[in-house]
Amino acid sequence: MAAYRNTPGFQRVLHAVKHVCFSKQRCGVIICRYSTVYDPNEKTFDKILIANRGEIACRVIKTCKKMGIKTVAVHSDVDSSAVHVKVADEAVCVGPAPTSKSYLNMDAIMNAIKQTGAQAVHPGYGFLSENKEFAKRLAAEGVTFIGPDTHAIQAMGDKIESKLIAKAAKVNTIPGFDGVVKDAEEAVKIAGEIGYPVMIKASAGGGGKGMRIAWNDEETREGFRFSSQEALSSFGDDRLLIEKFIDNPRHIEIQVLADKHGDALWLNERECSIQRRNQKVVEEAPSTFLDPDTRRAMGEQAVSLANAVKYSSAGTVEFLVDSKKNFYFLEMNTRLQVEHPITECITGLDLVQQMIRIAKGYKLQHKQSDIPINGWAVESRVYAEDPYKSFGLPSIGRLSQYQEPLDLPNVRVDSGIQEGSDISIYYDPMISKLVTYGKTREEALKKMEDALDNYVIRGVTHNIPLLREIIVHPRFVSGDISTKFLPEVYPDGFKGHMLTAGERRELLATAAALYVAAQLRSQKFLGDLRVSVVPAESRQWELCVELDKGVHMLGVSRSGNNYTVEIDGEKVEVSGEWNLASALLPITINGKHRTLQCLLRTAAGEISLQYLGTSFKLRVLSNLAASLSKHMPEKVPEDTSSILRSPMPGSVVAVSVKPGDNVAEGQEICVIEAMKMQNSMTAAKTAKVKSVHCKAGDTVGEGDLLVELE
């Protein structure tokens, strides 16, 4: 791919990644008031190694190509055919699948740098992006680390030290214990002094790993154990700190950009309050909650903190904001943030390009007064997760079909996978970051609805049902959100979209029309009837449709591609092209455009439709077939109270019971780790352990039997 070169007569071209950002289109290039310029005369590096994988590696490579910089990808053996490997100019294998032996293997990555002659390293996020030892080793070899210097990484990477520095820089901080917590009993003592609830979190790292909220002494002991284990597993550092938990806050962060000449900017905020297990799910920029004065105050404090540690690169200062707009420093991430695309959309800046320029020693090109808020951007993190289990437990598998909604306007998809890619237990289950942009928030959210409906993902369970429900929920649409949004809106867990009476009729009518269209197609071959002597084509059908254990009798009539379905005395008009080979099913229902997806269609009349984001299982039969089906035996469901199955793929960290042990309801039986997160598996009832089918170190799949109870 050739690097982009701008000409003197074509200035201020807005950065585009894949199919993005998003203002007024002119001659196929997207223009806005303020944008990134790639200057071919501004020399940076000849070759950059990206010490990461997946979508962020692809993201960095795209900007490097636009700047005329050659790229080197590193990969584990299982990632040898990954997209980031294919799009880079060179690729080097750095070890086997486990991250500790590949993407965290500093020796192997240093050898790759020497082997390829890379002059600089972009670490992306996660892995070694905030590892001061890695930055030191690069400096010793004369290789540029595209990020801040080691002092800033150490100061801000240690949550205890960063809090002290923030206090000295007059940044608002959360009350808490400023030292390292030695053991669980000391944690209980400190928590009692601070007052419940408290947040127990890893001193090193971030991303929601090594974090627990405790409301009493017992939860503090348990939280200390799990947090220290997760912190050690994820960051190699099990030190913990405890601070007051701000109940019902918003999580709002400020993007900062600073050069090596003492200049620093804040690039507005990102609203990141929609979270599960302290990990972000949906983000937007700007925030509906901040007024100009609060935005400015937060930005100025973020810049003050960056200046206090002589920060130079892109970084993010995270704050908790209460209902009265009081804000408190949470942490500073000394790297490119996962959700950086929404800042790029509203400012027109390419943050990766800015990081590369700064690393080379160039001054910032802009002043604070230059930074705009143009429009509104929303990001949905699309994960290979089951949203019906704790708002998202990891799913693994191969993407048998994959189609990004890039034919829609103002849609950006940052991904590092393709059809045929494997989602494995070894790495984060993120599929992509889906970003939409509009002049207003309402427009951006409507585009997100359409993008989620048109996003085709097969082969793994994904969280699109949850994402779509979030963005249309009245509380989210009104901006009434906090970090407790998900547990408050779905106190009994996420159950999918709850159909209204009108939506139920739409779904039933669509399934019936689809069934008839399939029946008619099966009677034809190359456009003609398969058997020439069959009766004239029927134009009316009487069908029985089952949905959620309800049985509905429907009458269907057809005229061309238009179907009229009568349900309980009401008529529903359904029309479309009915391309049964397409993954997408764009139709019009009573004059309203909808995009559905047919996930399954069998000869037995079973149809699974993705409608309004959620998958619904239906069964469509002729009246004769329905009358006969009642004689078919039904499968007896498994009694799950006496068995414990793994709810996700992962590895067994610990088993707390053995055959013959008596366990109480809710007692921990074993711990499963998936994607660096530890999950406690508990007994569903009080009983005696009959048998144990796993041991520490075992790899288990979703649904695997772990323990049987008597």
Catalytic center residues = 335
Do 364 and 265 contact (CB within 8 A), yes or no? yes
Please give the order of strands across the beta sheet that includes 211-214: 211-214, 198-202, 240-244
Longest CA span, the chain: 90
Q: Which H or E run contains 376?
A: strand 376-383
Q: Which H or E run contains 589?
A: strand 584-589
Q: How far apart are alpha carbons 403 and 456 in whole angstroms?
A: 5
Do 694 and 671 contact (CB within 8 A), yes or no? no
> For residue 501, what are its two tokens?
């009476």
Q: How far apart are alpha carbons 687 and 662 in whole angstroms?
A: 6
| Rounded alpha-carbon distances, angstroms, from residue 672 to 99, 663, 681, 687 | 18, 18, 7, 21
Q: Where would I find the H helices in 202-267?
A: 217-235
Residue 463's SS3 state is coil
> For residue 705, what are its two tokens?
């039997």
Q: How far apart are alpha carbons 257 and 556 in whole angstroms?
A: 61
Quick one: which of 38, 60, 33 has its CA closest to 346?
33
Quick one: which of 498, 517, 499 has its CA closest to 508?
499
Q: How far apart are alpha carbons 652 and 273 in whole angstroms?
A: 31
Task: Give the number of other CB atoms < 10 A from CB of residue 673.
Answer: 18
Q: How far apart are alpha carbons 273 and 282 in whole angstroms?
A: 8
Secondary structure (DSSP) of 568-598: TTEEEEEEE---TTSSEEEEEETTEEEEEEE
Do 257 and 343 contact (CB within 8 A), yes or no? no
